[in-house]
Chain A
Amino acid sequence: MKNLKLLLAGTVAAIAFTGSVAHADRATDGDLKILFWQAVSTMNPYLSGGTKEVYASSMVIEPLARYDEKANLVPMLVTEIPTLENGGVAKDMLSITWKLKADVKWSDGTPFTADDVIFTWKYCTAPDGGCAQKAQYQGIKSVEAVDKNTVKVSFEEPKYYPYSAFVGAQSPVIQRKQFENCVGAKAPGCTAANFGPVGTGPFVVKEFKPNDVITLTANTNYRDPKKPAFASVTLKGGGDAASAARAVLETGEFDYGWNMQVEPEVLAKMVAAGKGKLETAFGTQVERIVLNRYNADPSLGAKRSTKEAGPHPSLADPAVRRALSLAIDRTTIVEAGYGAAGKETCNIVPAPAAVASTKNDSWCLKQDVAGANKLLDDAGWKKGSDGIRAKNGVKLNFLYSTSTNSVRQATQELVKAWWAEIGVGAELRNASASVFFGGDPASPDTFQKFYADVEMYTNNFDGTDPEKYLAEWLCDKAPSPSNGWQGQNIPRYCNADYDKGVAELSKTGDPAKRAELAKKLNDMLTEEGAHIPLVHRGQVSSHSLKLAGVRMNGWDSELWNVADWSRAK
């Protein structure tokens, strides 16, 4: 017996010394230091839709299935991905059945069962509970346990893309035992649970300081006995993008830094220090200039940018919208502000490849100042003595707003210079990101209110299916005072044909036909100038050269495979 103990101790010591083999064992690689320059405020993604919270919690709680870096679904807590072929998805598209892995345990040692999955659905759809991920559970009629390890999700009507509930970092499964008394209005009050959820993931929260530091330790009950390689994780929050980049790339104080939204030449200089590298993942983010269909004249007061204000005096003209797009040199914008983290685009649905259109690339991707000038001349917009075009007393002068960010302000200046070449004036304005994206109905500076002629920002859609996203441009989704300025149809675009197309898309099951329809709808938006897509943006993060196993993911949490990360030797 004594000998056995010695032998065991010897083995442990040997493993500790010969740690050079990647993934030798669990918790042998020390501390993993992660830096999020926007600090994490909770570990419960159902109470905060912020990317940072979703990412941080993805180390602790897991969904049934995730997207990998190539946008393929990979099973996490289930044995396989349900499909039509394996019978997991019903032929009538009214239900999907998930088979849970049998031996999964929560970090407190209790078994993970179908009950927890059902509870998660109830938790997020509870009345008067402000669940941030409600959209993931839309259209679900019921979630039932067929047996202890089988869950059946039924839909109210045929759902042609059934992978939304319990898929991806935004809808992880939470433990019933821990959250049972935190449903509905009581949810935000359960601080201990929200800050330290019991999970099935590779790490467990040890200490949580909101908006500051989170320390996590390896989950001793994690289903793979050899993972995670790191014994602990320190997730530090705060600072700004440039200093975060410096801490990872130049000084090497941190192993991983999220969201390096910094000018490419500044990053290049830091990478040259040789301590880290950048990882880019292209998801579906598109930086676009949205053109207001309604009049945004301040003299209209509260009626601005609503139907009552009437059509925009100049942007209602299709020639103006087309000319504004033609005048822009997207290549230069990418070069000046994005570098490897951006590609020129003319689509609002830029990826995945199956649904990305190329139809408008021929006229739209290349700058054509002469063509834009001709278009405006033909439409009757004549240059005045100040170089600004006008027609019937309406001048082509636009208020151009965006959020405060050096890359955006640089883009604004570039666009202003190009528009000046075609006789269009622009007044630049920027609002702090927390105000611009804050959604406060009392503030006049939010992007939803759109008290400007044109505005610029980035948006994307989750997962790989654009149906929900394309439905944002429906006539009735335009923000207005009557719906509390909610609604995602920011340009106030309205076209009966488009609405019909979206309805058709929701009733189409065949993937090839769906892709074709999605492309058609995307082209419609570009051709009619609902917006001017500029740059297909990649997510850029940085990691130390001493960190191995990072597979940068634009479709799910960037930390989706943190269990596989290890210390490079």
Chain B
Amino acid sequence: MTDATITSAPPAKAATPTRSALADMWKQFRAHKGGVAGLIIFTFIVLAVFVGPYIHTVAPNAINIRDKNQWPSLAHPFGTDNLGKDMLAQVLAGGRISLAVGITAMLLALFLGTLVGVLSGYFRRLDNPLMRLTDLFLALPLLPLLLVILMLFRDTLRSAFGPETGIFILIVFVIGITSWMHTARIVRGDVLSVKSQEFILAAKSSGMREYRIILKHILPNVLSSIMVSATLGIAAAIITESALSFLGLGFPSDFPTWGRLLFDGANFMQLTPSRVLWPGLAISMTVLSVNYMGDAIRDALDPRALKH
């Protein structure tokens, strides 16, 4: 009992200033109206997509050919497609996949980008090879690469994880490894400028290990640009996945994602406009809200802005 009070006491003390920094950031974030709106919309979309299916309990893949091409009604709030599948259920189900792909691919790209960026910015010897590697990846055309990767690994992943998880891993992997380069370049630039400041020199002369300098001093100072590229990364990953689905390269065709719904609905634009309206709106609202949030986060994390 006494042990517990002793161990928990110091963090509690240390937490007080952090909390005020967090509160400062939150205040800063709230000042950005677009960011707040973005946060609200993004939260709403995430909630709708994950909780929605429990309220609107129609199965997204249930075919009912008699109810095809319907306009919105009480039974089908977003109407139905040309096979009579409920559009609302499909948009919700598609959103879960699109968001999951977006966030996971973003995390992967962020990890790779930060790693490469910090290493090449901090260690002069690694700078040239890593940056040339980045150039190499920037020059890789995404679609041919994807075709090759699909061909090489599809069957292996499919037998190991099943068709849906297999293709999920594949797509996340492909988007992840082809979108880390911009993060890497931004992070490298920031690391270079932070590295030359006095407090790093002080840390070095105090005998601090390199990895601890990176973790304790460099990373926190480049966090704002990492956060910004994270938010931009989600948007880019969702759009890339949509493009892949649009080209028929993504998930199996009965597996709705926002991009695929948009692709399938394009021909029916005049007949049932809601088929392209909702998936299109969902993609653009998500991407927009995430971008505004990124903008607000950058403001909130900017030390110069905090002075005001």
B222-263 vs A: 1/0 string, CB under 8 Å?
A: 000000000000000000000000011100111000000000
- Cα distance A417–B60 in the bound complex, in angstroms: 13
Nearest A residue to B69 via CB reads A265
9-residue interface stretch from A144-152, A367-375, A406-414 = A406-414
Within 8 A of A (CB), among B77-105: 82-83
8 nearest A-B residue pairs (beta carbon): A404-B248, A298-B155, A409-B253, A428-B252, A242-B267, A417-B63, A427-B163, A413-B254
Known contacts A242-B266, A269-B270, A414-B83; 5 further A-B pairs (Cβ under 8 A): A336-B68, A412-B254, A417-B63, A427-B163, A427-B252
- Cα distance A269–B266 in the bound complex, in angstroms: 14
- Report the count of interface residues on A (CB-CB < 8 A): 31
Within 8 A of B (CB), among A421-457: 427-432, 435, 443-445, 451
Q: Is the CB of A430 within 8 A of B65?
A: no
The one of B151, B248, B264, B268 in contact with A444, judged by C-beta atoms closer than 8 angstroms, is B151
Least distance between A99 CB and chain B CB atoms (Å):
50
The one of B61, B83, B264, B266 in contact with A336, judged by C-beta atoms closer than 8 angstroms, is B83
Least distance between B92 CB and chain A CB atoms (Å):
18
Within 8 A of B (CB), among A395-417: 404, 406, 409-410, 412-414, 416-417
List, in ascending order, chain B residues with CB within 8 A of A298's CB: 155-156, 158-159
Question: Which residues of B are interface residues toward A (Cβ below 8 A)?
Answer: 61, 63, 65, 68-69, 82-83, 147, 151, 155-156, 158-159, 163, 247-249, 252-254, 264, 266-268, 270-271
Least distance between A80 CB and chain B CB atoms (Å):
47
- Cα distance A208–B246 in the bound complex, in angstroms: 32
Least distance between B256 CB and chain A CB atoms (Å):
11
Question: A266 interface residue, CB < 8 Å from B?
Answer: yes
Q: Is the CB of A332 within 8 A of B65?
A: yes
Contact A406-B271, Cβ < 8 Å, known A429-B252, A430-B248, A444-B151 = no
Nearest A residue to B81 via CB reads A410
Within 8 A of B (CB), among A321-349: 332, 335-336
- Cα distance A427–B156 in the bound complex, in angstroms: 16
Q: Is the CB of A336 within 8 A of B270?
A: no
8 contacts between A and B (CB under 8 A): A265-B268, A298-B158, A404-B247, A406-B264, A414-B65, A428-B252, A430-B248, A445-B151
List, in ascending order, chain A residues with CB within 8 A of B61's CB: 413, 417
Most B Cβ at <10 Å: residue of A412, A417, A445, A451: A417
Q: Is the CB of A428 within 8 A of B151?
A: no
Contact A412-B63, Cβ < 8 Å, known A263-B268, A266-B271, A432-B247 = no
Least distance between A29 CB and chain B CB atoms (Å):
32
List, in ascending order, chain B residues with CB within 8 A of A414's CB: 63, 65, 83
- Cα distance A413–B163 in the bound complex, in angstroms: 16
Main secondary structure of the interface of A (DSSP, over half): helix
List, in ascending order, chain B residues with CB within 8 A of A431's CB: 248
- Cα distance A416–B69 in the bound complex, in angstroms: 20
List, in ascending order, chain B residues with CB within 8 A of A409's CB: 253-254, 264
- Cα distance A3–B113 in the bound complex, in angstroms: 87
Q: Is the CB of A430 within 8 A of B253?
A: yes
Within 8 A of B (CB), among A207-242: 242
List, in ascending order, chain A residues with CB within 8 A of B254's CB: 409, 412-413, 416, 428
List, in ascending order, chain A residues with CB within 8 A of B65's CB: 332, 335-336, 414
Q: Is the CB of B159 within 8 A of A299?
A: yes
- Cα distance A299–B267 in the bound complex, in angstroms: 39
- Cα distance A133–B248 in the bound complex, in angstroms: 32
Most A Cβ at <10 Å: residue of B69, B156, B248: B248
List, in ascending order, chain B residues with CB within 8 A of A269's CB: 270-271
Question: A262 interface residue, CB < 8 Å from B?
Answer: yes
- Cα distance A242–B264 in the bound complex, in angstroms: 12
List, in ascending order, chain A residues with CB within 8 A of B82's CB: 263, 265, 336, 410
Within 8 A of B (CB), among A254-306: 262-263, 265-266, 269, 298-299
Contact A263-B267, Cβ < 8 Å, known A413-B63, A416-B254, A432-B247 = yes
Nearest B residue to A418 via CB reads B63
Q: Is the CB of A262 within 8 A of B267?
A: yes
- Cα distance A381–B93 in the bound complex, in angstroms: 33
Nearest B residue to A404 via CB reads B248
Least distance between B159 CB and chain A CB atoms (Å):
6
List, in ascending order, chain B residues with CB within 8 A of A262's CB: 267
Q: Is the CB of A413 within 8 A of B253?
A: yes
The one of A266, A336, A417, A429 in contact with B268, judged by C-beta atoms closer than 8 angstroms, is A266
Within 8 A of B (CB), among A175-201: none
List, in ascending order, chain B residues with CB within 8 A of A410's CB: 82-83
Least distance between A386 CB and chain B CB atoms (Å):
13
Nearest A residue to B251 via CB reads A428
Q: Is the CB of A413 within 8 A of B271?
A: no
Nearest B residue to A337 via CB reads B82
List, in ascending order, chain A residues with CB within 8 A of B68's CB: 265, 336
